[in-house]
Amino acid sequence: MNKFLFFLPLVAVLLFTSCDDDQPTGDDNALLTLNFTSTYGDEPLMMLSRSYDYEDDMKLEVQVFQFYVTDITLLNGDQETPIMDVDLINFGDVYSNEDALAGKSIADIEIPEGNYTGISFGFGVDPVLNQTANSDYNAGHPLFDNYWGPQTGYIFYKFEANGDLDGNGEFEEQLSIHIGGNKNYNELSFEKPLSVVNGSKETLSFNIDLEKILISENGEYLDFNEVKIHHNADSPTANLLSGNIPHAVTIK
């Protein structure tokens, strides 16, 4: 597994007053919301309602973008406080700029009072959970769907789009990229000092840049003229995109 550490100096300190809705309400644990937005470069990512410029004069109309997050853990130096096993972030119903800016949230996760130095989570399904099967879960559980099979496990993330690959203005090509496999699991860590007290509410916000998943920092990119459909866990395409994940996910 790859572990990446991103440093942000901003300290999130909880402030409250007697009239604040977020003031402590007693001895209850604090509540943490994780918010995820997605962009394509500097543009909010919307499904089927906007086209995005790609390499070699190609254009994309995104239909599906989703991914798993697992092993969500608050950090305090060497101490780790696990707070959630798994959830699925799905932007499939994001059709407007307003929806894109609002993003998708994992709301009201109970966390202990304390001071934390950051947070970590896996992008994809961690190797332990990836050994389970969808038959192990009830309908509605995040791992009830997106199962490939016992040798590969789950689809960690999906990207599907209509593509205009020859610049004629017609989005005729169906593009479908599904990535899984333990070697393509990324464990991401973010430094984000956070102080919480019992009864308080806090939010941590992240952005995933789809353009940075498809195009590496060195300019290498997925050529959709060569790869239109990819449902695989071990290939140059899987290696390329999964290697781009750490640069594509940022904390706000």
Give pTM, 2 decimals. 0.87
Q: How far is the C-alpha of 137 from the C-alpha of 34, rounded, in Å?
A: 23
- The distance from CA 87 to its chain's CA centroid, rounded to whole angstroms, is 10
251 forms bridges with which residues in the sheet? 206
Count how many residues are written for the chain: 252
pLDDT in tens, the chain (252 residues): 444 444 333 333 333 333 334 444 445 789 999 999 999 999 999 999 899 999 999 999 999 999 999 999 999 988 999 999 999 999 999 999 999 999 999 999 999 999 999 999 999 999 999 999 999 999 999 999 999 998 899 999 999 999 999 999 999 999 999 999 999 999 999 999 999 999 999 999 999 999 999 999 999 999 999 999 999 899 999 999 999 999 999 999
In the 8-state DSSP scheme, what is residue 29? P
C-alpha span between 126 and 145 (Å, rounded): 16
Count of alpha carbons within 13 angstroms of residue 216, beta-carbon side: 14
**Segments making up each domain of the chain, as ranges:** 2-19+29-251
DSSP string for residues in 81-147: EEEEEEEEEE-TT--SHHHHHH-EEEEEEEE-SEEEEEEEEEES--TTGGGS-GGGS-TTSGGGS-E
